[in-house]
Amino acid sequence: MTDVIRVDPVHPDAAALARAANCLRRGGLVAFPTETVYGLGVHALDRAAVQRLFVAKGRPANDPLIVHVESLVQVHDLVLNVPDAARDLAARFWPGPLTLVLPRSPRVPDEVTAGLSTVAVRVPAHPVARALLAAAGIPVAAPSANLFSRPSPTRASHVLDDLDGRIDLVVDGGATEVGVESTVLDLSGVVPTILRPGAVSLDTLRAILPRVEPRSPGEPVRGAMPSPGMLERHYSPRAPLTVFDGASADAVARLVREACASIAQGRRVGIMAADEDRAALAEVERLGAGAIVSYLGSEHDLATVASRLYAAMRELDASGVERILVRGFPGDDGLGVAIRDRLRRAGV
């Protein structure tokens, strides 16, 4: 049985968090909100518990986990040393949606790092995550709290849809704010490299560390094995998803043609669109039951689009559509890059 504890997202009840913290300390699996997505937490130094987590998620053992800690102080116990770059980045971006990959200490179990010589660490900003880490007093390894390859959960209900009965506890702190997973920055090599784009953008990272490079697509990841977070197909809804990239008006026109053609063939279509697309989509919406349109927000408000992205994929899946058509979103940095990255991986 999976218990659910509902807490206030800003001022979580201390007794409720003490219960969740105890469960973590005893090796339990506890889902909790971070500012990005819900994480599935486990005592990072408890090998057996970490193994149970991989089973619960159906996650391949070669995909390493991010260890969440209260502050930079706890990072010292997990890594060989904290380079100046990490100190500077932590001072600017922690707590927040930035994960740093550093040479690991032998204290960190192989189960957490998938046998790599590095460990990923982050200090989350969500008040519930911070209070839980403080109450637990241990490093908490936490992948996104979804079944492997499903879209990351941005609400407690998403966690239960995937993991009810497979984990001990869900701390429900409402919807998460950012909606896409943290930026992962590898500081273990010669060139600091972004392994996964997120809300912390290349430009803001370069303001602190000018040598940061984005990972070029298709380039193999250094280390034992490429991790599935970097696999091409990931974060996917069940229905095949097609992205219409390019100049917005043209892309939306192509999406509308494709949607109308599918509906004419009797197929049920889900559409993820921007608020600006309402007029263009009127034609599709007139066709009635064949189409379900989910408006993610303005194309100029990527924070809102990102926060709704995974929920929209899950809702369209739940409504039983046979395919999902998505318009591409603009933006060359930060959330624009992150949204494009997630849509590309979710696509066919």
> Which positions touch ligand TXA (CB under 6 A)?
34, 36-37, 39, 63-66, 97, 99, 101, 113, 116, 118-120, 122, 124, 142-144, 181-182, 184, 195-196, 227, 229-230
Picked from ligand TXA, Mg ion, none, the partner binding residue 193 (CB below 5 to 8 A depending on kind) is none
Buried b or exposed e, range 99-138, using 16+ CB within 10 angstroms: bbbbebeeebbebbbbebebbbbbbbbbbbbbbbbebbeb
- Residue closer to ligand TXA, measured from CB, 50 or 269: 50
Residues in the site for Mg ion, rule: CB under 5 A? Answer: 144
Picked from ligand TXA, Mg ion, none, the partner binding residue 272 (CB below 5 to 8 A depending on kind) is none
Picked from Mg ion, ligand TXA, none, the partner binding residue 151 (CB below 5 to 8 A depending on kind) is none
Q: How far is the CB of 42 from ligand TXA (least distance, A)?
A: 12
Q: How far is the CB of 61 from ligand TXA (least distance, A)?
A: 12
- Residue closer to Mg ion, measured from CB, 231 or 287: 231
Separation CA 164–CA 58 (nearest Å): 13
Q: How far is the CB of 320 from ligand TXA (least distance, A)?
A: 26
Picked from ligand TXA, Mg ion, none, the partner binding residue 113 (CB below 5 to 8 A depending on kind) is ligand TXA
Q: Are 225 and 114 in contact (CB under 8 A)?
A: yes
Between β-strands 183-186 and 98-103, what pairing exists: parallel, antiparallel or unpaired? Answer: parallel
Q: How far is the CB of 149 from Mg ion (least distance, A)?
A: 9
Residue number with the smallest Cβ distance to ligand TXA: 229
- Residue closer to ligand TXA, measured from CB, 229 or 297: 229
Separation CA 139–CA 119 (nearest Å): 12
- Residue closer to ligand TXA, measured from CB, 227 or 262: 227
Name the residue among 89, 41, 53, 337 with its Cα closest to residue 195.
337
Separation CA 229–CA 94 (nearest Å): 22
Separation CA 272–CA 252 (nearest Å): 11
Helix, strand and coil content of the chain, in percent to the nearest 5, comes to: 35, 20, 45
- Residue closer to ligand TXA, measured from CB, 45 or 184: 184
Picked from ligand TXA, Mg ion, none, the partner binding residue 154 (CB below 5 to 8 A depending on kind) is none
Sequence letter at residue 220: P
Name the residue among 141, 130, 53, 67 with its Cα closest to residue 99.
67
State how far the alpha carbon of 139 is from the alpha carbons of 42, 112, 130, 206, in Å: 9, 11, 12, 28
Q: How far is the CB of 85 from ligand TXA (least distance, A)?
A: 16
Picked from ligand TXA, Mg ion, none, the partner binding residue 176 (CB below 5 to 8 A depending on kind) is none
Picked from Mg ion, ligand TXA, none, the partner binding residue 127 (CB below 5 to 8 A depending on kind) is none
Buried b or exposed e, range 254-264, using 16+ CB within 10 angstroms: bbbebbbebbe
- Residue closer to Mg ion, measured from CB, 9 or 228: 228
- Residue closer to Mg ion, measured from CB, 104 or 234: 234
Q: How far is the CB of 181 from ligand TXA (least distance, A)?
A: 4
SS3 of residue 144 by DSSP: strand
Q: How far is the CB of 159 from ligand TXA (least distance, A)?
A: 11
